Amino acid sequence: MNRTGPSSIRCESSSTPVIEQLDHDHTRTTRLGSLSAAIALVAACPPNAPYNPPWNSNWKPDGTDHNYLISSAFNNSLENNSINHGMDQVNRSVLNASTSATWIDVRVIQAALTGSAGDYRCVENHSNGTCHLSTIRIDTDIGTAGATEAYWKAVVCHEMGHSSGIGERASNAPSCIACPATSAYKSFDSNEVTVINSHFPS
Ligand SMILES: [Zn+2]
């Protein structure tokens, strides 16, 4: 998800599958570009929240053990609370989110993002299309830029939702997966849990 400031955020588009699948780094889009490019991203958001959240098969985890390697850069309570909140959301589904000391599934790091609060990309797929290794980047402003903990919980929830295979939802979706996410909704809604579970039948 992208933002121009804590209270003015932009977001990714799910209707640009090449970008979404190959490079979810929308800071690159920002760097390339132009205001018109930024507007195009926003305009590409779906107009209405679908009942069933979009599924991005390229982001499907390669199993139900969902390990997060958390950078030691997350070292204050707001950051840790936000990370734990995101993992709690994943754990509402059949995915078993836990931390790991090595990069098994998802790496969560901080990066100085330009015009962006966070992003997600799958960096290595299996031949069957599931995602083996992925990276969530959270802006280094987390915990320091004055945005609320609720906002950062929404940001982390949003990216961890992508790491669970959920694509963008419309801005009026009552969920952290809304495009753009806001501090008003910092959790998955029940539809997202249902959709994740439908892809990982127990
Ligand atoms: Zn997104």
Determine the average pLDDT of the residues in 72-84.
Answer: 97
Q: How many Å lie between the centroid of ligand 1 and the Cα of residue 201?
A: 24
| Domains (range + CATH), the chain | 2-199 (3.40.390.10)
What is the model's pTM? 0.80
For residue range 103-126, what is the model confidence (pLDDT) as tens digits? 999 999 999 998 889 999 999 999
Q: How many Å lie between the centroid of ligand 1 and the Cα of residue 165?
A: 11
Per-residue confidence (pLDDT) for residue 201, from 0 to 100: 82
Per-residue confidence (pLDDT) for residue 115, from 0 to 100: 81
Q: How many Å lie between the centroid of ligand 1 and the Cα of residue 30?
A: 14
Residues 9, 119, 198: CA angle, nearest 5 degrees: 105
Residue 22 has pLDDT above 80, yes or no: no
Residue 89 has pLDDT above 50, yes or no: yes
Q: How many Å lie between the centroid of ligand 1 and the Cα of residue 24?
A: 8
Per-residue confidence (pLDDT) for residue 51, from 0 to 100: 76
Q: How many Å lie between the centroid of ligand 1 and the Cα of residue 154?
A: 11
Q: How many Å lie between the centroid of ligand 1 and the Cα of residue 119?
A: 7
What percent of the chain stands above pLDDT 90? 66
